[in-house]
Structure 1
Amino acid sequence: MRFDGVGIIGGLVRDFALGGRDAFKSDLDLVIQGDPREVAALASRIGAVANRFGGYGYSEGPWKIDFWALQNTWAVTAGHVAVRDLADVVQCTFFDWDAVVYDLRSRRVVCDKTYFQRIQSRRLEISLRSNPGEIGNLLRAARRIIRWHLTPGPVLTKFIVERLDEETFAVLKATERRKYGDRALDAFTSVAQLRSLLLGGARPQTELARQMTLPLD
């Protein structure tokens, strides 16, 4: 609490919005409003490891936690967004569904007034296209559309059309096998099959798809 503010961004709040406590399956991403040198000192004390996006990561019990100093978030250091406090972090996320912060000090959810309507509409869109991890975001987009039965918005649709090809299809499948225990892409044998599902709105009627769907109540 010696920092000016600490917020949980994205996953936890999004998952609670989707399906309550039982739906939470994400890592914890924290943004700390305070002197970046003090955040670095905190990282050193707890043995956190620097990540390639300007933050730090460590594990605590069952939790995998990544945290950043507010001024060191990638969108800020790359010059895409100006931030003054935690509320501005909602401008920094790739997906609009992640553009939400829970302020631990005030116990307040910070998002724009259409956030929960967008969740309810089941349409996933890009909020900030500029991002250093495009392949990772393409994989997350595919997994979310498949797992949560979503429809991509026009900007995300354009992103998928531009980036999903034979080469990236192979990379996505290999990356998913390496990073995730549950695999959504193993059911697809060609990039055309995956593109058709992601862009056309058809939903797989497989046992895997049913198991991976988040609860809605």
Structure 2
Amino acid sequence: MWHTGRIKVAAIASSAFALLVIGAALRPLVLPEHHTATPILTSAEVGFAQDMTAHHQQALILVQRLDRSADPTVLRLAQQLADAQRIEIGTLLGWLRLANETPLSPHPMAWMHTEEPAPHHHSVAAPDHPQAPPDATMPGLATMSELDALATARGRDAAILFLQLMFRHHQGGLTMSQAADRLLPSGPVKESARSMFQSQSQETGVISVLLTQLGAQPRP
């Protein structure tokens, strides 16, 4: 009798465990779970990262086309600018990979026209931020003819043209960084935009001084 009772208890326990396993397996079918993934970046953050990546890439082209026989001070500045831009490009591309976004925007500068706040932020977008229609031209970019002219310039002329184009390029970057800082309520992208604004403001001052020393002025 005692042995038979142990068998019955063991059978009941085994059946209960089996039911628990089956229930756990069927739970997703009976009670479907709906998970809404929180976007890693908002559309404005994605747009800024994409467009600033493209903007930085032209800065690297300017450095590549600078004559190696130009003023050594200008060459050192160019290398410092290239190093800083590469680091920032890496950061921007890292965010875009995490967000599963493409490196290039299908609608350049459209993010400056949106007022969409980040869903995970608690404040609202700052008012009076610069507006730009979708597919607007990025500010500060050199034209193809200007890039070709830089590639053929030599010596002092190359140094002056490089500084002029980089000064205007940085002015455009400042416009974009300031727009992102005003548009985004908080977060790492906003902090990066603010850091870019500060560093490029300082670099623009250095460029202006070098132009003065070479007897030249920034381009309009």
TM-score relative to the length of structure 2: 0.30
TM-score relative to the length of structure 1: 0.30
Larger Rg: 2
More strand per residue: 1 or 2? 1
